[in-house]
Amino acid sequence: MEEMILILDFGSQYTQLIARRIRELNVYSEIHPWNKIPPLGNHIKGVILSGSPFSVRQEDAPKPNLSMIRGRYPLLGVCYGAQYLAQSNGGRVEASETREYGRAMLESVNNSNELLEGIDAPTQVWMSHGDSIKELPKDSALICSTSSVENAGYTFNNEKTYAIQFHPEVYHTSAGKKLIENFIVKIGGCAQSWTPDSFVDASIAELKKKVGNDKVVLGLSGGVDSSVAAVLLQRAIGDNLYCVFVNNGLLRKNEYDEVLESYKHMGLNVKGVDASEAFYIELKGLSDPEAKRKAIGKVFIDVFDTESNKIENVKWLAQGTIYPDVIESVSGTGGPSVTIKSHHNVGGLPDFMKLEVVEPLRLLFKDEVRRVGKALGISPSILGRHPFPGPGLAIRILGDITPEKVSLLQEADHVWISLLKEHNLYDEVWQAGTILLPVQTVGVMGDERTYEQAVALRAVTSTDGMTADWSHLPFEFLAEVSNSIINKVKGINRVVYDISSKPPATIEWE
């Protein structure tokens, strides 16, 4: 990339939001761990220090060496970053008397300072910290305060180094976008030229350089990510791309045939492989979610190893991995954040596979992938598809997996998705699915007692999958869905609706 903002990650839950807000302003950003600073150069237009679950007062707290950054690049410390800049430069940080979390108002703003230009008090900000800066560092000046946090923001004199105690990346900070724009455009001088079209051009050039004339095998899923990755690779290497679509027996009803048909019109070289039996054998008796994910990942690897061996001189395995996959599987940066769950397409390949991995979408969020797909001319019917987990229905069946359970869930899920489309609600929902619960409930049909399965309906609104809210669908519609599932799907007599948001819940149940 010609220009970028470097974000040093100290493990904050909001670090990825910083990257997103910058990208929304058409500026490329990258997150790196605080202790693995990448090579610096003129392409870096600014550096941001993230928040952290650590206290700067802890002995094991992150303490980056900023000697090659301070004074050379515009620098912005956010929350922990602001406290670290204070403490390491003669300031004083102490535990707050009460934890300052949530909305606060900047009552005093020095908007003659370039970071706060165009921002007037009072303005709402979002606080999330247990420490407070009690004394500013040497050679610095206060630029904003709240009624309870006097040193809410400051700047170092005669250098482009700024620090704020609040989080501008969070939507609750009313002028957060303006503050970030001031930092990356007015102070950093970014040209705001990172667009879907520019990403496509840069990625194609990079893939040509990286892959050359080598052959690549790609696992298609029918979803947005793998489809965009496939078209991007095809633009770069043409007929050297070989696509494989695996039926793992855990897809939605009719999905295997429908997806293969949709790819016929895209000019991709696609081979369908029905490996359902192999997946069912590997999953037999497994109930633990992580065990199921790992079993599915193992069979995927086995299938692709078999298929890749049928392609003469293939050297690369391409995957549609995107940023949230990486972040939730391991720390996306190697930093101190925690693992949420594993993803079958994250973490490299076993030694016996003599393939190298290429992931053209690894640093993109879902909405960015869709915009890139639109720039590539991919059909809206594919780009508009809801995300679907790699392990498929295996993680929407709580407990062990059997073909009978899969068939039951497929039928219920088909009713759910079909009615969302019929009522023009599908595009208003970011992701929807049905979960087969490991319980049976008493019901009455006609004059007979039933004792059958229960399912939960899940529908969420989101931008990138990192956070999500449950979809507030009309009660009348949900009643129709419930009635249709119970009447049409023999074996289900109860339907519930999941109204949990992420966090604290995840979108999927497993």
Active-site residue list: 79, 167, 169
CA dist., res. 85 & res. 206, Å (int): 37
User: Of the candidates 247, 221, 249, which has an alpha carbon nearest to the alpha carbon of residue 402?
Assistant: 249
Q: Judging by DSSP bridges, how do beta strands 4-9 and 44-49 pair with one another?
A: parallel
The sign of the torsion formed by the CA atoms of 28, 345, 203, 235 equals: negative
The letter for the amino acid at 253 is K
* C-beta separation of 269 from 216 below 8 A: no
Q: Judging by DSSP bridges, how do beta strands 153-156 and 448-461 pair with one another?
A: unpaired
Three-state secondary-structure class, residue 467: coil
Helix spans in 113-195 (H): 176-181
Around Cβ 75, how many Cβ atoms within 10 Å?
A: 25
* C-beta separation of 195 from 188 below 8 A: no
CA dist., res. 209 & res. 198, Å (int): 17
What lies within 8 Å, CB to CB, of 325 at 6+ separation is 343, 345, 346
Alpha carbon of 419 to those of 412, 414, 434, 479: distances in Å?
Answer: 11, 8, 13, 11
Three-state secondary-structure class, residue 394: helix
Owner of token pair 């039933």: 450
User: Residue 130: phi, psi to the nearest 5?
Assistant: -110, -10
What lies within 8 Å, CB to CB, of 56 at 6+ separation is 80, 83, 84, 87, 93, 131
Region for 113 from its dihedrals, namely left if φ exceeds 0, alpha if ψ lies in -120 to 50, beta otherwise: beta
